[in-house]
């Protein structure tokens, strides 16, 4: 089977023997497509993963072999996420499921940018679902990234009707703004790229170019889906005293928030990372009910063009890549 691996600062295609169940429980799935996540790009560019890694985790797939106690069967088209919390450790018991050791260890193997993937029984039981009939494969591929946004909204724990500024309207910003709206927040988005501002507006949410953001926004919360240095200034200006800044992106320089602003202004700054099974379930509901619209966000690439997909995403030529595999 074909896999796309990291190798000498490139993503290259390689052949590897087909994976089999070999007596294991779980399923072998044929990957129909896989979204390219911002975290894949960070892992690749900053060499967080060794050469030979198969990236990709936002898969849409079809079961081709299965040995499972679940109701899934061969031929089923499914979505699944990649990590599962143990539910028993100190992290899980305190709601920090994405810090759980088991969560970090579990994965789909070898990775989403592969013709076939092994999905364990635990995945099938906890985080896999049939693709709802009203969703296309590309729409369904937003199951995991939207789950991350749902988690962020829940973690911020805002009152209904709170005003929230979303800084950065890449694919995650667009999802985040809609997730916030679904949880009854008053949302405004900003970005420096006009097409992204217009896309959010087309989904019925206020948005402005970051250059013309009003000075006295006094937002109850600011959600940071951009890690640019300037975005930090924007957040500190836009958040009201006593408000919340939710951090949802890494910053290349690892620059921080100024201590004294947090102290004197009684700000809450918190991070949010990866979704729990409950967040994922909510995500699927938001997608299938149409409360979150993902039309026009993705650009399709063949597996052969995966390097271009990475490059075009990094250069902001596109918002998000969806790698079509086995089509």
- Interface residue list for Zn ion (CB under 5 A): 37, 85-86, 89, 92, 100, 145
Q: Kindly list the strands in the beta sheet with 186-191, ordered across the sheet, starting from the edge strand earlier in the chain.
A: 206-209, 186-191, 163-167, 219-224, 239-247, 268-271
C-beta of 31: minimal distance to Zn ion in Å? 15
d(CA 218, CA 211): 17
d(CA 23, CA 26): 9
- Nearer Cβ to Zn ion (37/239): 37
C-beta of 266: minimal distance to Zn ion in Å? 32
C-beta of 57: minimal distance to Zn ion in Å? 6
- Nearer Cβ to Zn ion (145/170): 145
C-beta of 324: minimal distance to Zn ion in Å? 17
Outline where DSSP puts E strands in 160-254. Answer: 163-167, 186-191, 206-209, 219-224, 239-247
- Nearer Cβ to Zn ion (86/213): 86
C-beta of 121: minimal distance to Zn ion in Å? 18
| DSSP codes joined into one string, 107-142 | --BS-SSBSEEEE-HHHHHHTEEEPPTTS-HHHHTT
- Nearer Cβ to Zn ion (82/154): 82
First and final C-alpha spacing in the chain: 14
Count the alpha carbons within 13 Å of 250 in the hemisphere toward its beta carbon. Answer: 11
d(CA 153, CA 222): 11
- Nearer Cβ to Zn ion (36/188): 36
C-beta of 108: minimal distance to Zn ion in Å? 12
- Nearer Cβ to Zn ion (100/292): 100
């Amino acid at each position: 089977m074909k896999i796309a691996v990291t190798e000498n600062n490139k993503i290259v295609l390689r052949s590897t023997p087909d994976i089999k169940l070999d007596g294991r429980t779980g399923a072998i799935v044929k990957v129909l497509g896989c979204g390219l996540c911002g975290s894949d790009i960070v892992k690749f560019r900053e060499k967080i993963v060794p050469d030979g890694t198969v990236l990709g985790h936002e898969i849409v797939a079809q079961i081709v072999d299965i040995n499972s106690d679940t109701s899934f069967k061969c031929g089923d088209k499914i979505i699944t996420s990649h990590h599962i919390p143990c539910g028993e450790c100190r992290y899980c018991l305190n709601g920090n499921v994405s810090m759980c050791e088991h969560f970090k260890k579990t994965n789909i193997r070898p990775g989403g940018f592969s013709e076939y993937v092994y999905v364990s029984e635990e995945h099938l039981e906890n985080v896999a679902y049939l693709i709802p009939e009203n969703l296309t494969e590309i729409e369904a591929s937003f199951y995991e990234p939207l789950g991350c946004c749902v988690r962020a909204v829940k973690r911020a724990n805002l009152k209904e009707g709170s005003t929230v500024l979303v800084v950065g309207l890449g694919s995650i910003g667009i999802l985040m703004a809609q997730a916030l709206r679904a949880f009854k927040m008053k949302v405004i988005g900003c970005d420096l790229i006009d097409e992204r501002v217009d896309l959010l507006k087309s989904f019925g949410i206020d948005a402005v170019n970051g250059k013309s953001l009003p000075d006295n926004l006094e937002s109850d919360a600011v959600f940071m889906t951009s890690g640019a240095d300037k975005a930090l200034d924007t957040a500190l200006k836009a958040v009201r005293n006593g408000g919340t800044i939710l951090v949802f992106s890494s910053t290349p320089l690892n620059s921080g928030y100024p201590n004294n602003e947090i102290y004197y202004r009684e700000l809450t700054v918190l991070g949010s990372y990866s979704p729990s099974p409950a967040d994922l379930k909510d995500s699927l509901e938001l997608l299938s009910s149409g409360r979150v619209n993902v039309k026009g966000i993705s650009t399709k690439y063949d597996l052969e063009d995966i390097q271009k997909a990475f490059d075009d995403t990094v250069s902001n030529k596109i918002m998000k890549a969806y790698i079509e595999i086995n089509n």
